[in-house]
Amino acid sequence: MRKDYSSWSLFTKGLRHNEGWNPAWRSAEPKPSYDVVIVGAGGHGLATAYYLAKDHGVRNIAVLEKGYLGGGNTARNTTIVRSNYLWDEAALLYEHALKLWEGLTEDLNFNVMFSQRGVFNLGHTLQDMRDIERRVNANNLDGIDAMVLDAAEVKRRIPILNTSKSARYPVLGASFQPRGGVARHDAVAWGFARAASKYGVDIIENCEVTGMDIANGRIAGLETTRGTIRSERVGCVASGHSSVLAKMAGIRMPIESHPLQAFVSESMKPVLDTVVMSNAVHGYASQSDKGELVIGAGIDHYTSYTQRGSPHIIEHTAAAILELFPMFSRARMNRQWGGIVDTTPDACPIISKTKVKGLYFNCGWGTGGFKATPGSGNVFAHTIARDDPHPLNRAFDLARFSTGHLIDEHGAAGVAH
């Protein structure tokens, strides 16, 4: 059993030149069978394993990862956390996650650096502002903090923002969620991995699922690059590769996988102490604790699994950011990357049982999954443990694509669709 991190452990290990720290989680060899197998060791998958062990008493769990832990979209997002969605179903799900974020560092005994620096969603047209007012009112009715700010107040709070009336897309105001913010994406995966490992969860890296054993409409096990693993309950949390897994089970998914690019600048002095997003000019930016600008925008329009996108998307992103922050024109970009996002027709996730008994999918988070990490794992663990959805993810069933009960979040879900 690993000791908790504390000021005392930091101090005493410091006196010993920081020697003697143990690995944060146990690297496991696959056993022949498990009670539950989670496919995908990103934030959502590890959170699922953690809550299965902690809240539902499941002990014999494996998390399989085809690459390395937290190396997919967990490592590739822009770390924004908020819950100001329009529709009740989505807003309550993301708010559930936000409430878990607020206690996550203590819960995991791992500093996920959750910083509630607020999130602005800018409005540039009268229609934008009407939509913002509607969304803020909907948020307030759901008990979510949100307010409408006028352009002068936005300027007061973000001095470097271009609020000139002569701008091509003038800023007329914004919605503001004070409890929104950013978190350290890697730390979320590492924290959940460490906490799950403490409960005995086997985390197995370099283990790609290559096939599923399905008999009589029931999952019996998985074929992997490290041998056959038996399990009667399997949860797939593979983001961009969800369609690939679904195909192994003969299930069709309403998902298209697109590259989503992002980039960070060189480190600069602190200039932006909040998160700014704009649907109209199509970009979002925040500044990391290291001083880098973290910038993202829209998806590449074609489907692809290549984890890279086309340069003209970068150009559009840069143009959008400069429209908002002209002073960033001299900032040089350090790194650029692409992640593969699993987009759905209604920009909402699928957290669902399937027609294969014992096989569950948590996918379709598209461009906005990071913010939901703890909430997603929490309700998915409930779904797997009880073979029945949590009240918060009942509406996110795969069946909504035949009943027609879509949760159309394209307006509020953000810039990327």
Partner 1 sequence: MFVLFCPHCGEKREEEEFGYGGEAFIPRPATPEALDDEAWGDYLFMRKNPKGWHWEMWSHNTGCRKFFVVKRNTATNAIAGSWTLAEGRKAYDAEGGST
Q: Which of 241, 353, 382, 417 binds partner 1 (CB under 8 A)?
A: 241
Binding status of residue 21 toward partner 1 by CB under 8 A: no
Longest dimension (CA), the chain: 66
Binding status of residue 302 toward partner 1 by CB under 8 A: yes
Binding status of residue 244 toward partner 1 by CB under 8 A: yes
Binding status of residue 250 toward partner 1 by CB under 8 A: no
Phi, psi for 97 (deg, rounded to 5): -65, -45
Smaller CB separation from partner 1, 290 or 301: 301
Q: Which of 156, 168, 218, 252 binds partner 1 (CB under 8 A)?
A: 252
Binding status of residue 345 toward partner 1 by CB under 8 A: yes
Q: Which of 178, 200, 311, 391 binds partner 1 (CB under 8 A)?
A: 311
Binding status of residue 7 toward partner 1 by CB under 8 A: no
Asked if residues 262 and 78 have their Cβ atoms less than 8 Å apart, the reply is: yes
Binding status of residue 165 toward partner 1 by CB under 8 A: no
Binding status of residue 318 toward partner 1 by CB under 8 A: no
Binding status of residue 59 toward partner 1 by CB under 8 A: no
Write the Ramachandran bin of 78: left for phi over 0, alpha for psi from -120 to 50, otherwise beta: alpha
Binding status of residue 376 toward partner 1 by CB under 8 A: no
**What is the pattern of x (binds partner 1, CB under 8 A) and - over residues 37-56?**
--------------------
Binding status of residue 306 toward partner 1 by CB under 8 A: yes
DSSP code per residue over 157-226: H-TTS---TTSSS---EEEEETT-EE--HHHHHHHHHHHHHHTTPEEE-S--EEEEEEETTEEEEEEETT
Distance CA 252, CA 110 (A): 38
Binding status of residue 305 toward partner 1 by CB under 8 A: yes
Distance CA 235, CA 386 (A): 13
Q: What is the dihedral of CA 337, 341, 346, 351, to 10 degrees?
A: -140
Distance CA 46, CA 65 (A): 10
Residues of the shown chain interacting with partner 1 in the complex, contacts defined by CB under 8 A? 241, 243-244, 247, 252-257, 301-306, 310-312, 345, 401-404
